Amino acid sequence: MSDKRQLLKKYMKCLDEMKSELKRRQLKKTLKTHIKALNDLECELKRREGKHTGGKRGRVCDSSNLPHPQILEEYTTPYCRLREEARELLEAAVVARKEAYVPYSKFPVGASFRSKCGYVYSGCNIENVAFTPGCCAERTALAKGVSEGQLTYTAGAVVAYHPKGFTTPCGVCRQFLREFACRDFPIYIANAPCPDREGAIPAIRDEDEVLVTSVYRLLPHSFNTFE
């Protein structure tokens, strides 16, 4: 009889714990509902305030209610400290830069990107005498991947050389990158000199600094919706 009572007490205790957990979840759900209602009310009040004041141009936009995706950190690090996957992308970009068609700017750029499936696509910049039809290395590489059905990417690399520092993607390429970034992903940028002799492919030295940035940092307020 005592065993049955102990078992009954155990079941009653479990039941009480389940009731407490259920109540906690319901309260949490109710709290979220109230917070959303307050945010909606705040937005409506601000909208009416702007309408009442004539919607003056130059007002500072309050972005507290806008969705903010998770953005990766930006930093520099020696090439030797990068993971093998990052070095592989940079090496692919270096090789791709060798094929750059730049008779006008003489500024070769190489880029590479790894798709979600693990494939690496690389490309170089291709210039045109009319300038506008030219294509940057980043878009060349991504276009190759997209044409093969790869629409999501996890990392990228850009290699160029400028005596004053790193060469980051242009504005058009940043928006192009954002189109295929469901989530923020790292972009490794190296400032590697061009080959001294024809046919040579210079390697990035272990002590060379690499800028590690990301798609969302390059274009924080992109023309897109946040998932």
**Integer CA distances (angstroms), 83 to 79, 195, 209, in order:** 9, 25, 14
The answer to whether the CB of 144 falls within 8 A of the CB of 135 is no
Note the helical H segments in 98-221: 137-146, 171-179, 215-218
Which segment of 9-18, 83-92, 151-160, 216-225 scores lowest on mean pLDDT?
9-18
Looking at 138, 148, 207, 209, which residue is catalytic?
138
pLDDT at 78 (0 to 100): 95
Q: What is the pLDDT of residues 38-51, one digit of tens each?
A: 777 777 776 666 54
Note the helical H segments in 75-187: 84-97, 137-146, 171-179
Q: What is the pLDDT of residues 179-220, one digit of tens each?
A: 999 899 999 999 998 865 566 666 799 999 999 999 999 998
Which of the pair, 110 or 132, is modelled with greater confidence?
A: 110
The CATH number of 75-218 is 3.40.140.10
Q: What is the pLDDT of residues 111-125, one digit of tens each?
A: 999 999 999 999 999
Is 136 annotated for ligand binding?
Answer: yes
The answer to whether the CB of 79 falls within 8 A of the CB of 208 is yes
Is 14 annotated for ligand binding?
Answer: no
Residue 138 bears catalytic tag:
yes
Regarding pTM above 0.85, the answer is no
Q: Domain residues of the chain, as ranges?
A: 1-51, 75-218
Is 43 annotated for ligand binding?
Answer: no
